Structure 1
């Protein structure tokens, strides 16, 4: 029974390390536990209605909850490793009676002190292999802190790129005509949009949790602006200028790729690009209809 509890604790620790790896460092996978937490909070906030979701708490709150689950589960896992070996495997300071400090709370205390690298020393591993395991937990705690910082520093630039694309589309919506698209300048605009859409697609692959951030302002909300990019691609496809037609085809392909990623990872509609974007807008509390086409 002693070693069963120890192996159970080690399994918990390994499960969290794996989840951290697939969430933060693996570019095309997403950790199972972290995704469950993020989607759970997203669905919970969706019950508040699209207007109240505009506070934008789902994404940040989800990330905080994921980190908290990681930290608490790792601490509990290491506590299970320590607990069966208390008190004989540990040394106690002179003010403590070892027989009075052998419960799960004491094991959790030792685990938290080690995980946070406080090193108070009142209860410390004394048995050979436990003296090796203790520093390993400190390394995991340091990795958890570093990974959390890297995660946050990666997600928010991805959100900035997404919001910048939405804002640019809102500008183009009222300032570019179909005649202007039929030119070198129009080709440049379409190429720029295609490049940015491709970058956003990669962001959704690498930072899946960015999907769960709500943008209340319509002008910086990609779900509310992306359908205008579809309109621009359709207008550019009928242009006489060869560069504009080529750029429109590239933009159309980039939009198809974005819709495929959104549908595969989040929406699961199995529909065409326009319908996926409509579902994306609905999921983020936006309008589902297409934006008006630019003037001719």
Structure 2
């Protein structure tokens, strides 16, 4: 029975590590804890029509919630591993009152101390297999901390790339170049560079799906509001006379179609054409979408 309880705790730890792995290093559209938490908070904020400042907190708050749940589950899982073997399989420092406490409390305490890599030493494993398991928990705690830092450092550059593209589209919308104006080498380079940036954002939505649930602030920095104008530029490029401009317009159209497919597959589920997907994307982020 003791081993069965310990296996339950080990299973809880493995579930957490699997979720962490699929969130950071092998993202899938099947989601996990992070996707469930972020989707729930996002839908809740949109359903009650929370103001922009509140919606802007959804992404960071969801990340903090997910990391907290990861840490809590790891600590609880390892405490369950220790619990059936407490106190007989452990050595307590002289004068310590820890052995007088309930076994579950001592197990939680030991798990917290170990996962935080504090190494206080007042409770130490005595059996051989536990002496191997405890350092492993410390390694998992270190990996969790490293993964959290890595997650933050990966998400925010992705947000920056998305917002830079939105601002660039906003500036182009204000200038509103016509088909004759982009029918040249400069126009071809412009459309090709936009296609490259759209492709980068598409990859970001694949690799860092949680970035979708971050609010972009004002319209000029919101891709949800500005992506519609990119389709206008692509159409004008394809209507140009120069073949290199038409090619660049076709590249931008292809990149936008690919982006729409990812947005629809992972987040929106409209089943419609790219224009409908971008309209749903704008609506989901509280935007109207840029019009020609």
Partner of 1:12: 12
SS of equivalent residue, structure 1 residue 154: helix
Residue 31 to residue 77, structure 1, CA distance change in 2 (3 Å): farther
**What are the Cα deviations for residues 86-132 of structure 1, in whole angstroms up to 9, with x where unaligned?**
00011112223565234222211100100000011111111111010
Partner of 2:34: 34
Aligned-partner Cα distance in 2 for 1:98–1:160? 50
Aligned-partner Cα distance in 2 for 1:287–1:237? 25
Residue 30 to residue 138, structure 1, CA distance change in 2 (3 Å): farther
- Length, aligned pairs only: 291
Aligned-partner Cα distance in 2 for 1:51–1:257? 31
Report the alpha carbon displacement of residue 50 of structure 1 after superposing the two structures with TM.
5.3
SS of equivalent residue, structure 2 residue 51: helix
Q: Contact between 1:90 and 1:123, CA under 8 Å: does it hold in 2?
A: yes
Q: Contact between 1:83 and 1:102, CA under 8 Å: does it hold in 2?
A: no
Equivalent residue runs for 1:244-259 within 5 Å: 244-259=245-260
Aligned-partner Cα distance in 2 for 1:224–1:253? 19
Aligned-partner Cα distance in 2 for 1:277–1:66? 28
Aligned-partner Cα distance in 1 for 2:226–2:54? 16
Matched, 1:132 2:132: yes
Moved more, 116-125 or 130-139: 116-125
Aligned-partner Cα distance in 2 for 1:195–1:98? 61
Aligned-partner Cα distance in 1 for 2:259–2:57? 24
Aligned-partner Cα distance in 2 for 1:181–1:237? 10
SS of equivalent residue, structure 1 residue 112: helix
Partner of 1:182: 183
Aligned-partner Cα distance in 2 for 1:213–1:236? 31
Matched, 1:160 2:145: no
Partner of 1:279: 280
Aligned-partner Cα distance in 2 for 1:220–1:50? 19
TM-score norm. by structure 2 comes to 0.96
**What are the Cα deviations for residues 204-232 of structure 1, in whole angstroms up to 9, with x where unaligned?**
01001000000121110000000000111
SS of equivalent residue, structure 1 residue 19: helix
SS of equivalent residue, structure 2 residue 192: helix
Partner of 2:269: 268
Q: Which runs of no fewer than 5 residues in structure 1 stay unpaired?
A: none
Aligned-partner Cα distance in 1 for 2:66–2:203? 22
Partner of 1:220: 221
Report the alpha carbon displacement of residue 48 of structure 1 after superposing the two structures with TM.
3.5
SS of equivalent residue, structure 1 residue 91: strand
